[in-house]
Structure 1
Amino acid sequence: MIRDTSAQDQVVKQKPNFVKPALLLTGVLAVITWTGFAMINSDTATVSVNKAQLKIATVIKGDLVRDISATGKIVAANAPKAYSPEQGFVTLNVKAGDTVEKGQVIAEVESPELNNNLKQQESELARLQGELARSELDARRQALALAKTLDLAQVELNAAERENRRAKISIEKRLISQIDLEKAVDDLAKAQLTFKHAEQEVALAKDTLAFELQSAKSQVVRQQLVVDELMRQVSNLSVKASVSGIVGNLLVQPKALVNKNQALLTLVDLSAFEAELQVPESYANDLGIGMEVELKIGSEQIKGTLSAISPEVNNREVTTRVRFAKNDISNIRQNQRLSGRILLENRDDVLMVKRGSFLNAGGYVAYKVNEDVAERVEINTGVTSINSVEILAGLKTGDQIIISNYDTFKNADAILLR
């Protein structure tokens, strides 16, 4: 009988394992070495930051373009409205979005009152023209009668002169008495006086007739001006497009009763677009007419100039207008969104660094990177652009600084970068 397997068991001696203690010793030595190195190189470092999470930039020298970033939209530089010339019922010949040409009739206003007034004034003009024609006939008739009176006075004067000469000859020959001679002299004086008065009356009558004719002609001319003005107003009842473009908004309903000078619709000139940019109020004093502007419309990059600056501030922003340098811009629409960059000034050979969140600390301190340690240094900054910041003092060319946010650094004199 076999009681158990104790006779078959053998004792095995285990070899000592030196691998794990060796690895543990190596790790401890590495930590001690790294800690000692850090203590040697950063005696004052109180904050440790992962270097991969920071943004570091190098201080360089170059041309700094001071600029402003702004957003805006495309607006029509020329978007006139069409107005009703008179009170009446309007008929719209176009719809919103239709293409129109300059001079095309886009709306018609029916004004019965104006048409009736035109007919009345035309009738009055015809009456005055008839009066003028009758006055001219009367003037010719009166001129003829005056000429007849003057001619008769001339004949009587000639006869009196002839009788006076006969009487003088007869008195010399003692054929007539002295009384007959004196009568011939009196008749001559009477004829001369009559002829003289006839000449004066004819001249005065001619002036009177000319004045009356001129007055009648003036009335006709005045009435003609009234008729011409009414005809112009009637012709303006056909409202024409002042520019070539498209119809914007319809401001009235078709067949509606409109008042004089009431807006009917809006036209948009497709050949004259401008950009409207909203600039922060803090940059308002730096803006000036004529400054260069770079605009990005979709995928197209174009240039323009600042043409207008609003004198008022709305919602802490100033509205500006930018005129394009070229007019053949394709694929742009009214109210299309865009971004712009206003170039304020250009500075040459400037010590600068890439712009970052470190400016939130006030722009008077920076952390300069020296291998694995970032030391806090005082700096002075100048003008800023969208991408760069001018460095006035505290740094030199080739220095590297942290441009990330400094809130987590707790104003430490040195930062350990791991």
Structure 2
Amino acid sequence: MDIPIDDKKSSINKRRVLRAGAFCMLLIALIAAFTQLQPALPSIDESELWISEVQHGNFTRQVRGVGVLAPSEIRWIAANTAGRVERVLVKPGAVVTQGTVIAQLSNPLLIGELQRARWELDAAQANLLALKAQLQEQSLEQKLLITQAKMDLQAAQLKEQAEKPLAKQHIISDLEFAKTELNTKQSQAILDIRLETQQHRTQLTSAKLAAEQAQVRKFSNMLEHFEEQIEALTITADIAGVLQQISVDVGQRVEIGSNIARIARPDSLLAELQVQENLVQDLQLGLPVSVDTRNGIVAGKVARIDPRVINGNVQIDVELIEQLPSGARPDLSVIGTIVVEQISDALYIDRPNGASAQSDVQLFKLDASEQYASLENIHLGKASVSSIQVLSGLKRGDQVVVSDMGEYQQHSQIKIIQ
């Protein structure tokens, strides 16, 4: 019996072709289906996000600065005389009163000058006493001469009066009477000279006394000056307060005018805040400020705006209008929040990371299910410390992600895992 081998082989080949065709069709279908698939959405846990809800109402613009409490009244104690520091009796941070001894200086040369001034004053005073005695003696001698001249004049006048009637009666000669009259005139002239001499000597005596007294005052002032210099070797506080700084060490040589110590009054503190220069343009004197001392919040107001910019910051001095909490002291770190303005009927959100005023940003806005967030264009307005005004792109009640989403900015939508 004959077996049909060729028909059997042909049937097997046909099945193989059909299987290959079916596999190719399946492969093509799989490729087409794969190309039609959308990429999976990136997902992020809700706990890793900072989500802010759009608020509506009064928007308070604030500017924040960090700084320290500083005394409004500071006194530098300077050396009024040169010397060497022997002792420092008070350390920084101590409370001092007026007259508290802070440091002690020494100056042997000054002590020698003081002793010499005492000797010169003693000598000048002795010279003054000797001059007074001498001038008094000369004054007595002059008075004696004047008295004698007066007596001689009186004697001559008496003789002239006695001889005058005799001369008229020619009892005595005219020559003798003429001599008598001449003697009277001579006595009068001598008295006049004595009186004039006394007047000149009085003026001379006053001049000599004034000169010698000036010498005494000179050395007296020198002595007082050196005594003050010796006293100034003891450095004392001239106001009550807190000793902030000692600028000298034991053994150091200081000159006149050198700063020794700095004292601040703790009851007259103000806040010195450093504010970024780009935030200062809207600040004005008198704006209210809240100063956080970390031990309480104290109200204040802007008292001064420094016109200079240092390292990108402007110093704002804040006058404190409330009593500081206990423990407040100079150089204590504080944070000040300045209220710039109030904007009514405004939309605002928590300030997104890196967002600036009057700018356009892209933020992820949550949908109604709060499971997905889509990237939206937002136009921002004026900025505050922790919030910022929304001008367009959002409405009241919308929720947006304000944390840093830089790694997701290439995606238009994200999934939020709750």
TM-score of Structure 1 vs Structure 2, range by shorter chain? 0.7 to 0.9
Decide whether the 8 Å contact of 1:271 with 1:327 is kept in 2.
Answer: no
Matches within 5 A, 1:308-387: 308-344=304-340, 346-347=341-342, 349-357=344-352, 359=355, 363-364=359-360, 371=368, 379=379, 381=381, 383-387=382-386
Instruction: Name the SS of the counterpart of 1:277 in structure 2.
Output: strand
1:61–1:397 CA contact under 8 A, matched in 2: no
State the Cα RMSD in Å.
3.4
Distance 1:149 1:350, change over 3 A: farther
CA contact (8 A) 1:303 1:324 kept: yes
Once the two structures are superposed, the pairs formed by residues 110-259 of structure 1 within 5 Å of their partners are: 110-259=106-255
Aligned to 1:402: 400
Counterparts of 1:26-105 in structure 2 under 5 Å?
Answer: 55-62=51-58, 64-84=59-79, 85-105=81-101
Q: Which amino acid aligns with 1:270?
A: P
TM-fit CA distance, 1:74:
3.2
User: Cα–Cα, structure 1 residues 187 and 226, in superposed 2: closer, same or farther, change >3 Å?
Assistant: same
Partner of 1:3: none
d(CA) in 1 for partners of 2:278 and 2:190?
Answer: 99
Q: Are 1:291 and 2:287 counterparts?
A: yes
Instruction: Extract unaligned runs of 5+ from structure 2.
Output: 1-40
Query: Residues of 1 paired with 2:51 and 2:282: CA distance?
Result: 30
TM-score, structure 1 length as denominator? 0.75
Say if 1:378 and 1:276 are closer, same or farther in 2 by CA, change over 3 A.
closer
CA distance in 2, matches of 1:189, 1:360: 116
Alignment check: 8 A CA contact 1:355 1:386 kept? no
Determine helix, strand or coil for the equivalent of 2:270: strand
Shift of 1:250: 4.0
> Does the CA contact (< 8 Å) of 2:118 and 2:223 recur in 1?
yes
| C-alpha contact 2:291 2:300 (8 A) present in aligned 1 | yes
After superposition, where does 1:18-33 map in structure 2 within 5 Å?
A: none
More displaced, 92-101 or 212-221? 92-101
> Between the two proteins, what is the percent identity of the paired residues?
17
User: 1:241-265 deviations in whole A, cap 9, x for unaligned?
Assistant: 2333444444333344444433444
2:357–2:383 CA contact under 8 A, matched in 1: no
Cα-to-partner distance string for 1:5-59 (whole Å, 9 max, x where unaligned): xxxxxxxxxxxxxxxxxxxxxxxxxxxxxxxxxxxxxxxxxx9998965735334
Q: Which residue identity is paired with 2:201?
A: A
Give the corresponding residue for 1:19.
none
Equivalent pairs, count: 366
**CA offsets per residue over residues 292-339 of structure 1, 9 Å max, x none?**
221111141111233444443232122333332245531234433322
In structure 1, distance between residues paired with 2:260 and 2:156: 84
Question: 266-275 or 140-149, which moves further after superposition?
Answer: 266-275
Secondary structure of 2:336's aligned partner = strand
TM-aligned CA distance change 1:97 to 1:296, over 3 Å: closer
Tell me the secondary structure at the aligned position of residue 293 of structure 1: strand
Judge conservation of contact 1:244–1:270 (CA < 8 Å) in 2: no
Stretch deviating more after TM superposition (159-168 or 50-59): 50-59
Q: Gaps (5+ residues) in structure 1?
A: 1-46
CA change 1:122–1:326 in 2 (3 A) is farther
The residue identity in structure 2 corresponding to 1:219 is: Q
Counterpart of 1:253 in 2: which secondary structure?
coil
Q: Is the 8 A contact 1:292 1:342 kept in 2?
A: yes
8 Å CA contact 2:85–2:103 kept in 1: the answer is no
Contact 1:67 1:343 in 2 (8 A): yes
